[in-house]
Amino acid sequence: MSDCLYCKGKLKPERVTRVQEYDGHWYIIENLPALVCEQCGEVYYTPDAHDRVIDLIQNGTQPIRLESVPVLDAS
């Protein structure tokens, strides 16, 4: 993949932060390799990056820090 699906902009490799829900818990994964559109900022994850996220979670990787996440009610 070399062009953005939305705007046809160029994709460049970057390290991004991804938020992932898994088994009812939320995880923040920093420094994940991804492709980012230079034009619109859309982020594309490779299958490898997705596997890496699931690996990190399933292996019980020690967090580098803990964050509290605000939960908002829109009802």
CA distance 66 to 75: 28
How many residues of this chain interact with Zn ion, rule: CB under 5 A? 8
CA distance 37 to 5: 9
Binding residue for Zn ion, selected from 9, 16, 44, 53, defined by CB under 5 A: 9
- Amino acid residing at 7: C
Binding residue for Zn ion, selected from 7, 51, 54, 63, defined by CB under 5 A: 7
CB of residue 1 to Zn ion, shortest distance in Å? 12
Which secondary structure element, helix H or strand E, spans residue 54, and what is its range? helix 47-58
Residue numbers of the site for Zn ion (CB under 5 A)?
A: 4, 6-7, 9, 37, 39-40, 42
